[in-house]
Amino acid sequence: MEDTSKPRRPLDGIRVLDFTRFLAGPYLTRALAVMGADVIKVERPPHGDEQRGHPHFIQGQSGYFLQQNHDKRGVCMDLKRPEAQAVARDLTAVSDVVVENFRPGVMARMGLDYPALSALNPRLVYCSVSSFGQDGPYAQRPGYGIIADALSGALHITGFPDQPPPIIRMPVADTLTGIHGVAAVCAALYAREKTGEGQHIDIALLDCMFSLHEYAIQEYLLSGGEVEATRVGSGLPGSVPYGVFAGRDGCLVLGAPSDQNWAQVCQAMGRPELATDPRYASNAQRSRHRDEVYRLVQDWVTASPSIADALRRLEEAGAPCARVQTIREVVHDPQIAARGMIVEMEHPTAGKVRLPNLPFHFSKADVSPRRPAPLLGQHNHEVLREVLGYSEEQVASLKRAGVLYAAPTT
């Protein structure tokens, strides 16, 4: 049972019906869950969310799934069956939010699209997450985060000019879309308090990645197409120096776009005169002499006895800098520990699992995870009995008919 002794959370009392899988949708509903929403995750038999088959595994459980689906209750039913669709509609009638990330048209074929469900529950907030949105020439295309990375131009401006762009090893498109979805859902719930009506939210990975451009798109548009960003390696054009520098025993990053920052770097390097050198005195001037500036800094880092020594000098001067940490170093970083960014949960089959936390911190609410990700179909009986008021015989009948499914371990 959920620990009711903890402080109320921002979304306590909100119920979310979650038809999502993979990453963007589950990340969205995971965030709603830790903020207090009762998230009921609906999966399809016999394998459930495709995340359940994604490594790394512990005692047969996918860490990928465990991370993105904790604090949710799990129901598994065959949505191709009219009986399961009827259960879904009953759940909609007592829910505040529906989130789905099927390709456009799939929910309509099951009678579970926004027009159908809002007719049952006009206060419903319905969020559709997809690769390209509900309309436009790409709407029916399949897609993943890497597709949005490519089409948005993000890959084109990442990496070195003489090499193909590297894949972005963190799922920026999915998690960015998920958190935009959280903001949109919360805004729609707030609007509902004033109007009494829900609405449909249409959010797309490609839109979110396009909106993330802070420089390249506006530079192209405002120059009339004359200036087009491309790959420039480990630095950032327009902010100099701002990039990665290799040393004898690792790499460091330096963010020094302001003239004050540059003076701090010059002090750390033992070259204070460079701060007032006409070639480098302003960011605009440093940008025009970008290669020279990067060579000056790189030569100094290379000559330093160690990355730690270079960082010590930069930190003493007040320059923004950091070691490029390995995953092992990140996991043991004292700042990560102080912020509670790794949490431990007890899973019924996997045992104790440690996973990355979400970055929410509220002054008057405890939003730490409270329950592990559900086993497949774990809460079939609980949800249908407690939420819908179905009788024991109704639940048993749906189970006998194969409408409800639970994994053998459940």
User: Which residue ranges make up each domain of the chain?
Assistant: 15-211+336-400, 235-329
Single-letter amino acid code for the residue at 107:
M
Active-site residue list? 174
Angle at the Cα of 98 (from 9 to 397), degrees rounded to 5?
105
CB of 133 closer than 8 Å to CB of 204: yes
Q: Which CATH architecture has domain 235-329?
A: 2-Layer Sandwich (3.30)
CA distance 276 to 56: 53
CA distance 398 to 76: 11
Domains 15-211+336-400 and 235-329 share a fold: no
Domain 15-211+336-400 sits in CATH at 3.40.50.10540
Residue of 297, 281, 283, 286 lying closest to 244 (CA atoms): 297
Residue of 361, 382, 274 lying closest to 40 (CA atoms): 382
The residues near 375 (Cβ < 8 Å, ≥ 6 apart) are 74, 348, 349, 406, 407, 409, 410
Rounded to 5 degrees, φ, ψ at 126 are -120, 115
CA distance 406 to 80: 17
| Runs of H (alpha helix) within 166-289 | 172-195, 205-211, 216-222, 259-269, 283-288
Query: Residue 274 carries which DSSP code?
Result: G
Global pTM value: 0.93
Q: Return per-residue pLDDT of the chain as tens, 410 residues.
A: 455 566 689 999 999 999 999 999 999 999 999 999 999 999 999 999 999 999 999 999 999 999 999 999 999 999 999 999 999 999 999 999 999 999 999 999 999 999 999 999 999 999 999 999 999 999 999 999 999 999 999 999 999 999 999 999 999 999 999 999 999 999 999 999 999 999 999 999 999 999 999 989 999 999 999 999 999 898 888 899 999 999 999 999 999 999 999 999 999 999 999 999 999 999 999 999 999 999 999 999 999 999 999 999 999 999 999 999 999 999 999 999 999 999 999 999 999 999 999 999 999 999 999 999 999 999 999 999 999 999 999 999 999 999 999 998 76
